[in-house]
Amino acid sequence: MKSILMLEDGQKFLGESFGATGETTGEVVFNTSHTGYQEILTDPSYKGQIVTMTYPHIGNYGINFEDIESRKPFVEGFIVKEYSKIYSNWRSKKTLGEYLKQNKIIGIEGIDTRQLVKHIREKGSMKGIISTVDLNEKSLLRKVKLAGGIVGKDLVKEVTNRTIYKFKQKNGSGKNVVVMDFGVKMNILRSLYSVGLNPTIVPASTSFEKIMDLKPLGIMLSNGPGDPEAVTYAIETVKKIISSRLPVFGICLGHQILGLAMGGKTYKLKFGHHGSNQPIKNLKTGRVQIAAENHNFAVDLQTLKNAIPTHKNLNDGTLEGIGYRNLPVFSVQFHPEASPGPHDSKYLFLQFADSVENYAKKNRY
């Protein structure tokens, strides 16, 4: 079926649809990963975005039930150069197209993704619309211009779980930590569990008092979608958490919310960082690690007091990690749980576990 992608600046791309049919809008971004499309589709941080894969051949290993990162796909649309209708992998249960159709996600293939990516890199991320039902260019351009963007919009409330629950994998126990769910990925929970921590996950709007009733020995601020400045209720809660002197570890959106709670500011990047091959330099050790990233906003270090930069992105020099003087609090912009290295970043979970252990000893838990 014929399909069209229209960007808000009038640039159009004609292709064929796969997955669901209909119409969808979102901010068009590109991801430079060669594999991992299933993890990308189910990463809640992509809520509000239409994702373009730069690797040209997507879908050849199908979809399985083990590699999902959340309860469902959250992308608004999916763009590939060539969709593989044939898949081959011993764990696969269905095709990518079947999975998208089942979850009402519109895909488009057959467009020049190199041209699209180059356009976004030069002009910056922008809104787009994919349609299989309306191929009128003037109509589509009007719709995409009227569509809402992600700046100033609270997308966290659309992805966070509504109830408090415990993460259980096998049997055993560990020190209790609370994860504020801004769109948490499953592998963050697995990673916490692997270093001896027992995560309890709470909705993003959970009050400080309810969090403290759970008697946590540490707080994880998870990844999530959109503009951190719009999640005002979480920022206020994190301010109280910091004052309690509990150990805190933030990842991605959690890193940004922590920065805002510490009095800093955030800003929107031109086209963001999306991919599993980002070079991140540890400023303490001088070592470079390969990391996965998915964010459109960044923390402005110059607006923070009492902050110590710990990591930076070697592609554009943006801030990728912060520690804070005299506080058991730190955060990173990248995703240490994604393991593209594959184990370059596990030390961050061990660092958090050590901080939790020290807090427990100090307070005789």
| Residue labelled with tokens 């270090």 | 301
HSE (side-chain half, CA atoms, 13 Å) at 306: 13
Low-confidence ranges of the chain (pLDDT < 50): none
Fold matches, 2-146 and 156-362:
no
Q: What is the total residue count of the chain?
A: 365
Domain 2-146 has CATH 3.40.50.720: no
pLDDT of residue 172: 55
Determine which helix (DSSP H) or strand (DSSP E) holds 260, and give its type and residue range.
helix 253-261
* Tens-digit pLDDT profile for residues 314-335: 999 999 999 999 999 999 999 9
| Residue labelled with tokens 């593989």 | 84
pLDDT of residue 147: 95
CA dihedral 336, 337, 339, 345 (to 10 degrees): 30
Question: Which of 3.40.50.880, 2.60.40.420, 3.30.470.10, 3.30.1360.180 would CATH assign to domain 156-362?
Answer: 3.40.50.880
What b/e string do you get for 205-234 counting C-beta neighbours within 10 Å, with b at 16 or more? bbeeeebeeeebbbbbbbbbbbbbbbbeeb
pLDDT of residue 181: 98
Of 323, 314, 195, nearest to 258 by C-alpha is: 323
Q: What are the beta bridge partners of residue 171?
A: none
Locate the domains of the chain by residue range. Answer: 2-146, 156-362
pLDDT of residue 277: 86
* Tens-digit pLDDT profile for residues 237-250: 999 999 999 999 99
Cα 298 from Cα 285, distance rounded (Å): 23
**Chain-centroid distance, C-alpha 104:** 20
Helix 253-261 vs helix 232-244: crossing angle, to nearest 10 = 70
Of 114, 89, 100, nearest to 32 by C-alpha is: 114
Give me the active site residues, please. Answer: 252, 335, 337
3-state secondary structure of 303: helix
Write out the DSSP string of 100-139: HHHTT-EEEESS-HHHHHHHHHHH--EEEEEESS---HHH
pLDDT of residue 344: 79
Question: Is beta strand 307-313 parallel, antiparallel or unpaired with respect to 57-58?
Answer: unpaired
